[in-house]
Amino acid sequence: MSQIDWQRLHSCAVAAMKTAYAPYSKFPVGVAALVNDGRIVTGCNVENASYGLGLCAECGLVSHLCSTGGGRLVAIVCVDGQGDFLAPCGRCRQLLFEHGGPEALLMTDDGPQSMAAILPWAFGPGDLDRNER
């Protein structure tokens, strides 16, 4: 994989954020990620009048990843309505970890951080066979 173009990922995340459906919270979120085959996938949050049914931007990103051929997430940028870097919630960190693994990178205010650092002691596919050991 060639060098990560963080600026391009940021621009794609901002573009995705502008398509968010956030009439209730007024808190649009966009996310973009580089896939190991070179594609960029994006997602935005989609709220619902039944608040608990809203979808985080990362849910849309993972759906986009799977519906366009799968692969592994390499680098991720998540932004708020101002285009500033945003830390995903716990549920979304788990989704990103599942599809990128501990080595996937998330851009933060402190620079790129591995998913292992963002979600320490993560539960992953390798933990599912614990009862069979």
Let me know if residue 20 belongs to a domain: yes
Tell me the pLDDT tens digit for each residue of 40-57. Answer: 999 999 999 998 899 999
Q: Are 64 and 55 in contact (CB under 8 A)?
A: no
Give the pLDDT band (50/70/90) at residue 126: confident
- As for how many domains the chain has, the answer is 1
- By annotation, the residues acting in catalysis are 58
Q: Global pTM?
A: 0.93
Let me know if residue 61 belongs to a domain: yes
* Distance, CA of 65 to CA of 62 (rounded, Å): 5
Radius of gyration of the chain (CA): 15
The one-letter amino acid code at 3 reads Q
Taking the CA atoms of residue 93, residue 94, residue 96 and residue 97 in that order, the dihedral angle to the nearest 10 degrees is 110
Let me know if residue 28 belongs to a domain: yes
Let me know if residue 70 belongs to a domain: yes
Let me know if residue 62 belongs to a domain: yes
Residue 102 in tokens: 């501990």
Give the pLDDT band (50/70/90) at residue 2: low
Q: What percent of the chain has pLDDT over 90?
A: 87
CATH number at 103 reads 3.40.140.10
Let me know if residue 1 belongs to a domain: no
Domain extent for 83: 6-132
Residue 20 in tokens: 């968010």
Q: Are 29 and 76 in contact (CB under 8 A)?
A: no
Q: Order of strands, edge to edge, in the sheet holding 105-108?
A: 40-44, 30-35, 73-79, 105-108, 111-114
**pLDDT value of position 133:** 58
Let me know if residue 58 belongs to a domain: yes
Let me know if residue 45 belongs to a domain: yes
pLDDT averaged over the chain? 95
